[in-house]
Amino acid sequence: MKRLGVNIDHVATIRNARGELHPDPFFAAKFAKKSGADSITIHLREDRRHIKDNDASKICSIKNLLVNLEISTNPSIVKKALKIKPSFICIVPENRNEITTEGGLDLKKNKFKLKKIIDQFKKKNIRTSLFINPRLNDIKISSLIKSDCVEIHTGKLANLLKKNKSYTKELSMIKKCSTLANSLGLEVHAGHGLDYRSAKLLSKIKEIQEFNIGHYIIGESIFFGLSRVIKNFKKIIK
């Protein structure tokens, strides 16, 4: 059974727009789990634009909740994550001027730095994942530096689908990367820009075991409710 990770960053975005306490990401995490989410994803960005340190600590302390903490390679963020001890970590690239994560990690340039970070989390028995572009060489490097998982950046595919443009080449590359990753013992995840259509398409790739979806889920929840949207995605990706 494929798993659904629900990213609740934008619950914090709405809260922060008023500088108040509501809506509370802590409550959102518990409610999403109750609604069928297999795990919760939060991104502790360097600029703390949505999830704050206290949010991350509280959410990671919820009993029987699997939390996937997205982090950059910034030493202070890595130190904070090691202290918080989430269930999983996913290392992502970060640019303070970006609206959202714009692509995968530059593994060729940063493989030694990433290997050191991965080793630190492995010592704490925390599952590691790398957010990568769908490139075969990035899969190979991920395996070499001993990541447990890869999360394939699906933003390009999602955007092609939304614009009704040809997506077969991008889909083919994601399939090839997923097959290679699986053969090398890496667990395959998918995330970024996914909606019902793109998630359904990618669910046909048997090697993809986990989908991490946030913006679309929170957006649809405004109209249809969080529980209903989570249940819809669970049906689509099963």
43 in active site: yes
For the chain, the domains span 3-237
pLDDT (average), residues 197-207:
98
Residue 103: predicted pLDDT: 84
153 in active site: no
Q: Which DSSP string corresponds to the chain?
A: --EEEEE-HHHHHHHHHHTSS-S-HHHHHHHHHHTT-SEEEEE--TT-SSS-HHHHHHHHTSTT--EEEEE-S-HHHHHHHHHH--SEEEE----TT-SS--S---HHHHHHHHHHHHHHHHHTT-EEEEEE-S-HHHHHHHHHTT-SEEEEE-HHHHHHHHTT---HHHHHHHHHHHHHHHHTT-EEEEESS--HHHHHHHTT-TTEEEEEE-HHHHHHHHHH-HHHHHHHHHHHH-
Give the global pTM. 0.94
Q: What is the pLDDT of residues 75-93, one digit of tens each?
A: 999 999 999 999 999 999 9
Residue 95: predicted pLDDT: 72
Topology annotation, domain 3-237 = TIM Barrel (3.20.20)
Q: Which of 43, 50, 153, 189 is catalytic?
A: 43
pLDDT above 70: percentage of residues in the chain: 97
Structure-model confidence comparison of residues 100 and 35, the more confident one: 35
- What is the band of 185 on the pLDDT scale with cuts at 50, 70, 90? very high
Q: Which of 10, 50, 70, 153 is catalytic?
A: 70
Q: What is the pLDDT of residues 140-151, one digit of tens each?
A: 999 999 999 999
Asked whether 131 and 93 are in contact (CB, 8 A), the reply is yes
Q: What is the pLDDT of residues 44-61, one digit of tens each?
A: 999 999 999 999 999 999
Structure-model confidence comparison of residues 205 and 103, the more confident one: 205
Q: Which of 50, 153, 192, 220 is catalytic?
A: 192
151 in active site: no
For residue 98, pLDDT over 60 is answered with: no
